[in-house]
Structure formats: C-alpha cells, structure tokens
Amino acid sequence: MTTERSDNVSEAQIAVHWREEEYYQPPAAFVGQANASDPAILDRFAEDRFPECFKEYADLLDWDHYWHTTLDTSEAPFWKWFVGGRLNACHNCVDRHLATRPNQAAMIWVPEPEDADPVAITYRELWVRVNEFAALLRDFAGVKAGDRVTFHLPMVPELPVAMLACARLGAIHSEVFGGFSGTACGERIADSGSDVLITMDGYYRNGELIDHKIKADEACEAAAKHGHEVGTVLIWRRHPGRYASDRPMVDGRDHFVDDLLPDYRGQRVAPESMPAEAPLFLMYTSGTTGRPKGCQHSTGGYLAYVTGTSKYYQDIHPDDTYWCAADIGWITGHSYIVYGPLSLGTTTVLYEGVPTYPDPGRLWRIAERLGVTTFHTAPTTIRMLRKLGPDEPTKYHYRFKHMTTVGEPIEPEVWRWYHQVVGKGEAVVVDTWWQTETGGFMGTTLPALQPMKPGSCGPGALGIYPVIYDEVGEVVEAGSGKAGNICIRNPWPGIFQTIWGQPERFKQIYYERYNRDPASTDWHDWPYLAGDGAVEAADGYFRILGRIDDVINVAGHRLGTKELESAALTVDEIAEAAAVPVMDELRGRAVEMYVSLKPGMTASPAVQDGVTAAIEREIGKIARPTQVWIVPDMPKTRSGKIMRRVIAGISNFADVGDITTLANPEIVADIRHQVQREK
Ligand code: WT7
C-alpha cells in the first residue's frame, strides 16, 4: 500500500499482518441480559433506513424541542443533525435522573494513594456540585453560552463537574490532557480563544503529589506568546485549603475555587436550552501539520451517538458499575466515561494514578472492591499488565460481564489473555475502532449479536457503512486480502462538525481525497477519510493496520510527526529532524527521532538529551522518544524532502523501498550501519 505523499511516515506500512482468527461466541449469561439481543436492531439500522435510523439514538435523550430535520446536508460536508431540536447535555446527564435515582452513585472516584477510600458522588450530589460551580463560572468568571473554557485537569471528580457546568451554561469546554505540557496547553488556549483556564494545583501519580500549577503559569505564558491573554485561572486544590504548589498566585488572575465556592452554596442555574447543533466541546488532536486541530463536537448529535453506542455496544444498564480506565483528557473519556454513561444513568468509575502503581494488581483490586461489572481499557495497558502481572487477575474476586478495548490494534495473543485471564472466560470482549473526530465507535461488534474475532475490530457499527478505497478511489473488495484506506461512506450524528476556526482544513483533510463533486449536497459524494489503513475480510470484519498519515499512535496517544520535529528544531544544534514510528512490544508503536546537526556542531549525549527535553517541554512526557539518533544527513528527494519512509524502514529492519531516486542514496547504507549496529 502506498501513502498519500511519498515522504510521509505510515504506521500501516510497518504493521504486522496477523492471520485470520477464529470466532468466539458471547457467553449465554451475557446474551440473556443484553440491551441489544434481538437481531431486528440490525434491520432497523439497515442502509435504506439512513438517516432516520438515528432517531432511535436521539430518542434516548430528553429534548426541550423536538427536531424537524434529521439530517441537513445543504452545506456538505458540514452535516447538521437533528436540526430545529433543542436540549441541554447537563440536564440529560444529571437532572433527568433525579426523579428515578437521586441516591445512586453517578460517579465513584478512586484516588491515589491506595490507602485513601473511594469517594461516591450520587446523582443528587453531582447535581448540587454542578449547579454551584456553574453559578461560580457564570457570576465570578463571566462565562456565558458560546464561550470557550479550557481545562487542564487531572483525573478528579472536579473534571466531570466542570464539563457538566459548562454544558449547563451552553459554554464550550476544551479539556487538555493533564500530561500535556504547559506550552501545549497554552497553544490550545490561544487557538480556542479561552479567557478562562480551570486547573488543579497538583495530583497524584506513582505515589507522588505532582505540582501542576506550574503548568498553568507556563500555559498562560505560551498563550500570551500567541497574542492571547488568559483573564482568569481557577485553581481547584487537590486537598482543599492546603496548597500543593510553591508557585505564587498571580494577583487578579489566579483564584482558588475552594475559597470562592462557599459564596455559591445552594445556588441553582437553569440549564440553557441549546440548539442541537451548538458546539458542546473541543478536543484537540494531532494531524499532519504542527498545528493541533480543535475537533468541534455538537450537543445533540454527539450526545445521541454516545448515548446510543453506550447502550448497545457498552451494554450499559443503570445498575452496572461501569469502569472505563482511560483518561477523561482523551475523547474516550469524554464519550465513554462522562457523557455516554451518565446520560444512561449508570455508575461510572474514575481513578487517579496508573495501572502499575503500587503494583500491577491495582486495577483488579479496584474492580473487586467496587464490584465493577463492565471494564474498558487500551491494548497498551493490557500488554503492560500481561507482562508485569500475568497471574494477578486470578488473585482477585471480581466478575466482568463485558470488556472493551480501544485505541490501537490488539494482537490476537494479547486479546486471548484479556479474554481468558482478565475476563476469566466469562466476559464478552468488544474491540472498538474510532477516533477523536468520530465522537464514538465506528467499527466494533454488537456484543450479543456479532461474534468476536481477535485482531479485528468488527464490522461497521449500527448505521455506519465503512468502505476501503485504493489510491485511485476504487473499492477494495471484502475478502480480497488487500489493504487500502478505510472511509465511512455516510455521515453519522457523532461526527465532528469542523476543526475549530479552520473549516477549509476540515474539508481538505477529511473529505477532499475521495469527494466526487465539490458542489454536491448529496452525502454519497462525500466519503469520510479516516486516515487508517485497513483490510476487510469476506465476513465484513475490518482489521485496522494503523495510520496512513504523519501521525504516530504511541500507547493510544496520537502524536503528530510535525509537532515532534518542530520541538526538536528548537534545540540550537539541530538542523533537521525526522520523527519515525517503530514497532514496540508494549506501546504498539514508539517514536524514534533522527536529527542532523548544523555545520560546526558536534554530536554528544547532551544534544540527544536536549532533543528529548525539548519534546517534553513542547508536547509533554508522553511524547518522549525512545531513541534520538544523530545522523550525518537525512535521505532526501532531489527536491529536498526528507524521506521518512526510508528512515522508518531502517529503524524497523524493514524494506526501505526504492531509493534510486534519492538525491543522496549512499546515506541509506551509512545510517543503516550506524543504527542497526546499536540495536
Ligand atoms: C486512531 C485514533 C478512539 C479513541 C482513542 C484513540 C487508532 C483507535 C483502534 C482499534 C485499531 C485503533 C486508529 C485511529 N485506533 N482504536 N480498536 N483498533 N486501531 O483516538 O487519538 O483519535 O486516535 O487510533 O489509528 O485512527 P485518537
């Protein structure tokens, strides 16, 4: 398979093609209780029912005003769902459950350190906290409908409270993953035009209370460099009344939330009735250029889609204890820790810390203690726990009925450990392929109706019609064994609306490639390009191979090669940089940096460390490369483009492809010699 541009790195190119696997059937006990156990649901979402089939998802919500048009395509590819409808997302996730289950836990938070008790927050209590914080946001910080508010919050209940408070006001939240650097946060603040930053002074990880306030200062500084002043920084204290940082508070800008809140005790804020098409939140993700993309998700379509998929694919029932062990800082957490589960009125678990501290039994202890019924994590975590504590799950008395995997392809042998050891052979396993942009699941199995096949995510989700196209837009037939670019032929309610402030880029990246007529308002002419390589088996199940663009998925985190390279170029000695993906046993893929030096500079470990430090500063520790190679020159085309594909081939001991057209083919052997000798 070739890629869009000759110089880009493609994960899909270095993917391992594992063989077709056997099917596994769901346990009878699961099928008996499943939300979707009648195959008639597949007919209700058949292609000739599109787009009205999605009414079934929207009808799971409370609407202030019902919509008049299910799908408006007049401004293709800017799809509008449930037009004319009005609703409030916070009302749907909180208020509407007060009549039926006020005293059920909406959330259970498991803090670090481990000797601290879990904290349950009932729907009634969540309602109180959300109202009070919404009043503070409105009256103290001046937040109103349509304003953007950036969060840089860790895994604490204050994060969903802040999301729901914004939703209540009709304000657009933009949570930046806590592990991102202050600089990365500041860029996103400026891009979204947020006047308010909400953060916390510190949080626990690996037994340590980490200073997080320092990142708020860096973020404000970085935003200012982009010409954007942050007016208000609201800081929750991890231990109210006890400041965890030694960073000074900035007069007039910084405020402790726990000092302000008493003034808002007992206050109630009416949920703002928002148009279905009003943006609910932004979620930034990496792409082909250095500038992160603010994926804008809608209120009505998004909430309908995550509620529907949570019901049928996560099989969430209100009396479940549902635990998605992801971070809310990613789309997985927004859709499947907060909005989907709370909309369905279940109990959602969040935890602070990591799966391996204090030991690799942590997750299973939590599962046992809370009686978790439904579990959700990423292949990278499964691989790590399988390596560090292969027998740990057997030591704990929990019983999962349903388990999800998300974020990367899962190797069949890792899948089998998840199924047999973590799931004790009793849980159904649902692999879910989707993206920040898609809002919810795209390729997966209906757990009671479609068998599992390790290594394949499954067919298109209800109402989703994927297709694989080759380079010239011909359909790659199912069962042909050929890989191609996976696209979704139709729009769906969870699709993001645009890239914040960059509508042209939105069109170009996702729709231009296979568009049949730029003037068309017929959705059939606008296949959505997902950016992944994939293979479709004869049974309609998809195997995802990895990204076809300049994105590297490290442990389920999407990193842009351009972002990594521009961080490296901030180091004085560096002339050129290339980031390439390498296969990694635990993280799926890892990043290796190749750099060349400016004339007169000498290679040294200090230069290598400088590159790593720059990447940590500009992006965050999650982007840290496993290797920094200083090479005499980069393989280049005659027009001077760095051939990352060639470098990736060397790093992965794989075929480097045709190098005869390079300007400097001799460098390939030099680099290979240098790198493969040391590996
Ligand atoms: C990319 C999207 C969706 C939430 C987490 C990641 C890869 C995602 C799977 C899966 C194989 C997967 C794709 C995709 N991916 N899920 N089940 N099997 N690959 O969201 O950060 O937007 O990344 O993750 O390459 O394009 P994201």
What pLDDT was estimated at residue 9?
62
Task: State if residue 510 touches ligand 1 by the CB under 6 angstroms criterion.
Answer: no
Angle at 530 between CA 524 and CA 533, to 5 degrees: 115
What pLDDT was estimated at residue 6?
43
Mutate to test the pocket of ligand 1, among 331, 485, 553 (most ligand atoms within 8 A of CB): 553
Listed residue (504, 80, 500) closest to 283, CA to CA: 500
Residue with the nearest Cα to atom 24 of ligand 1? 407
Q: Are 475 and 521 in contact (CB under 8 A)?
A: no
What pLDDT was estimated at residue 7?
57
Please give the structure tokens belonging to residue 278: 């009003």
Mutate to test the pocket of ligand 1, among 180, 310, 408 (most ligand atoms within 8 A of CB): 408
What average pLDDT does range 582-597 have in this prediction?
95
* 406 C-alpha to ligand 1 centroid (Å): 7
Task: State if residue 431 touches ligand 1 by the CB under 6 angstroms criterion.
Answer: yes
How far apart CA 128 and CA 145 sit, in angstroms, is: 20
Residue partners of 283: CB distance under 8 A and separation at least 6? 174, 175, 294, 295, 297, 330, 331, 334, 436
Listed residue (408, 428, 437) closest to 305, CA to CA: 437
Residue partners of 584: CB distance under 8 A and separation at least 6? 554, 590, 626
What pLDDT was estimated at residue 639?
85
pLDDT at 2 over 50: no
Residue with the nearest Cα to atom 2 of ligand 1? 435
Listed residue (331, 314, 306, 329) closest to 372, CA to CA: 314
Listed residue (424, 379, 373, 377) closest to 402, CA to CA: 373
What pLDDT was estimated at residue 4?
38
Task: State if residue 404 touches ligand 1 by the CB under 6 angstroms criterion.
Answer: no
Listed residue (281, 297, 150) closest to 222, CA to CA: 150
How far apart CA 53 and CA 51 sit, in angstroms, is: 5
Structure confidence at residue 13 as a pLDDT band (50, 70, 90) = confident
Task: State if residue 122 touches ligand 1 by the CB under 6 angstroms criterion.
Answer: no
What average pLDDT does range 628-655 have in this prediction?
92
In this prediction the pTM is: 0.95
pLDDT at 615 over 70: yes
Task: State if residue 10 touches ligand 1 by the CB under 6 angstroms criterion.
Answer: no
Residue that wins the pLDDT comparison between 651 and 11: 651
pLDDT at 81 over 60: yes
Amino acid at 471: E
Task: State if residue 532 touches ligand 1 by the CB under 6 angstroms criterion.
Answer: yes
Residue 429 bridge partners (DSSP)? 403
* 407 C-alpha to ligand 1 centroid (Å): 4
What percent of the chain has a predicted confidence (pLDDT) above 70?
99
Task: State if residue 435 touches ligand 1 by the CB under 6 angstroms criterion.
Answer: yes
Task: State if residue 556 touches ligand 1 by the CB under 6 angstroms criterion.
Answer: yes
Task: State if residue 582 touches ligand 1 by the CB under 6 angstroms criterion.
Answer: no
Please give the structure tokens belonging to residue 303: 């909430």
Render pLDDT for 430-440 as a digit per residue (tens, 0 to 9). Answer: 999 999 999 99
Task: State if residue 625 touches ligand 1 by the CB under 6 angstroms criterion.
Answer: no
Rg (CA), the chain: 24
What pLDDT was estimated at residue 1?
35
How far apart CA 427 and CA 415 sit, in angstroms, is: 12
What pLDDT was estimated at residue 3?
36
Name the DSSP letter for residue 418.
Answer: I
Q: Give the Å distances, CA to CA, from 199 to 178, 241, 260.
A: 9, 15, 14
Please give the structure tokens belonging to residue 133: 């914080």
